[in-house]
Amino acid sequence: MATLAQTVRPTRAGLKPQTRHTINGLLFAAPWLIGIALFWVYPILASAYYSFTKFNGIQTPQWIGLANYIELFTEDANFSAAVYNTLYFALVSIPLAIVVSFALAMLLNAKINGRVVYRTIYFLPTLVPEVALALVWVYLFTPGTGVINLPFDWLGLRGPCWLTCPEWSRTTIVLLALWIIGNQVILYLAGLQDVPQDLYDAANVDGANFWHKFRHVTVPLMTPVVFFHLVTSLIGALQFFTVPYIMTGGTGFPANSTLFYSIYLYKNAFHHFEMGYASAMAWLLFLVTLGITLVIFRTSRLWVFYAGGEPG
């Protein structure tokens, strides 16, 4: 009887360690295994299917082949505006953010008084709910009542029209995005503090000046942080939504200049109920993100320097 009970219901303790580990590993990972299947794999496949259909979210999707994609690329002026604005935002704001946050971190890394205070001040804006952020920006940047043009008035100049005209609105949003780089400043500062002092000491012995040390010690050792920053901020920039959506109510005012990719996607899906069309947009975004990330990873071997000698 005892042996029968053991064969029918083998306790986990009786199993080989490797089998036991596999069972436990799967059990502990179970929430995420289900999560990946339900919240990533299924939706990605489903939206691939929807992207080839005409679908309003209620009736059965109708297969229309590549028609959504063809319409996006040949007929839809809003789509090209959204692509242009999003790429403009990514290509201008990311290099600026890298330079500014690196520079601020370098300044903070000089052993000066009040470093913690500065770091806190630079970080605070990243905590503000985006709705509040967008509202205060709109108000600040409204010529007439906002303070933004005050310095121009003092000088007797006419200030820019900021968010109210298409020539300035894209640039304004790029500048505004610089306000929320506190995370990156902290990352660069932590990276700078990890640079071993003996490397600088050795450079000093060799008679290196500030520029040499910066160029040949600091920058190479900081490339992993730049790499991380580049990847995450590119992914983030392509998905930029809440701030411009709130600033303009999603209208893209003025003249579609603040219509970003995600806003246009959202409007197609949830205002016009063009779920198939929006899915095609979502899949294009997915492919572009994937492509760009792969390119950055591939080229990283050429410019990212790992102190341990091995990418890690």
Partner 1 sequence: MAVETQSAPRTTVVTQPRRWLTGKQVREIVRHLLTHAALIPAALLFLLPFLWMLSTSLKTDEQLYAYPPVWIPSPFNWANYPNAVTYITFFLYLRNTLIIALGSTIGALISCSMVAYSLARIPWGGRNWLFIATIATLMLPFQVTLIPLFLVFKNLGWVGDFRPLIIPHFFGGALYIFLLRQFFMTIPMELSEAARIDGASEFRIYRSIILPLAKPALATVAIFEFIARWRDYLGPLIYLNDQSLYTLSLGLHEYSSQYGREWGLLMAASVLITLPIILLFFFLQKTFVQGITLTGIKG
Contact 231, 293 (CB under 8 A): yes
Amino acid (1-letter code) at residue 273:
F
**Binding residues for partner 1, how many (CB under 8 A)?**
95
Task: Mark residues 243-282: x for contact with partner 1 by CB under 8 A, - for none.
Answer: --xx--x------------x--xx--xx----x--xx-xx
Residue 4 or 153: which CB sits closer to partner 1?
153
Among 76-84, 101-109, 195-203, 211-219, the segment contacting partner 1 (CB under 8 A): 101-109
Residue 99 sits in the site that holds partner 1 (CB under 8 A): no
Residue 15 sits in the site that holds partner 1 (CB under 8 A): no
CB of 45 to partner 1, least distance (A): 8
Among 159-167, 196-204, 230-238, 252-260, the segment contacting partner 1 (CB under 8 A): 230-238
Task: Mark residues 194-223: x for contact with partner 1 by CB under 8 A, - for none.
Answer: x-----------------------------
What residues numbered 159-188 form the site for partner 1, per CB under 8 A? Answer: 179, 183, 186-187
Residue 130 sits in the site that holds partner 1 (CB under 8 A): yes
Residue 1 or 16: which CB sits closer to partner 1?
16
| Sole binder of partner 1 in the list 124, 157, 255, 307 (CB under 8 A) | 124
Residue 152 sits in the site that holds partner 1 (CB under 8 A): no
CB of 107 to partner 1, least distance (A): 5
The DSSP bridge partners found for residue 54 are 62
SS3 track for the chain: CHHHHHHHCCCHHHCCHHHHHHHHHHHHHHHHHHHHHHHHHHHHHHHHHHCCEECCCCCCCEECCCHHHHHHHHCCHHHHHHHHHHHHHHHHHHHHHHHHHHHHHHHHHCCCCCHHHHHHHHHHHHHCCHHHHHHHHHHHCCCCCCCCCHHHHHCCCCCCCHHHCHHHHHHHHHHHHHHHCHHHHHHHHHHHHHCCHHHHHHHHHCCCCHHHHHHHHHHHHHHHHHHHHHHHHHHHHHCCCHHHHHHHCCCCCCCCCCCCHHHHHHHHHHCCCCHHHHHHHHHHHHHHHHHHHHHHHHHHHHHCCCCCCCCC
What residues numbered 282-311 form the site for partner 1, per CB under 8 A? Answer: 282-283, 285-286, 289-290, 293
Among 39-47, 80-88, 159-167, 252-260, the segment contacting partner 1 (CB under 8 A): 39-47
Residue 116 or 205: which CB sits closer to partner 1?
116
Phi/psi for 304 (5° steps) reads -95, 130
Residue 151 sits in the site that holds partner 1 (CB under 8 A): no
Residue 4 or 141: which CB sits closer to partner 1?
141
Residue 36 sits in the site that holds partner 1 (CB under 8 A): yes
Contact 237, 14 (CB under 8 A): no
| Sole binder of partner 1 in the list 28, 63, 73, 214 (CB under 8 A) | 28
Question: Alpha-carbon distance 62 to 127, whole Å?
Answer: 44
What residues numbered 40-79 form the site for partner 1, per CB under 8 A? Answer: 40, 42-44, 46-47, 50, 57
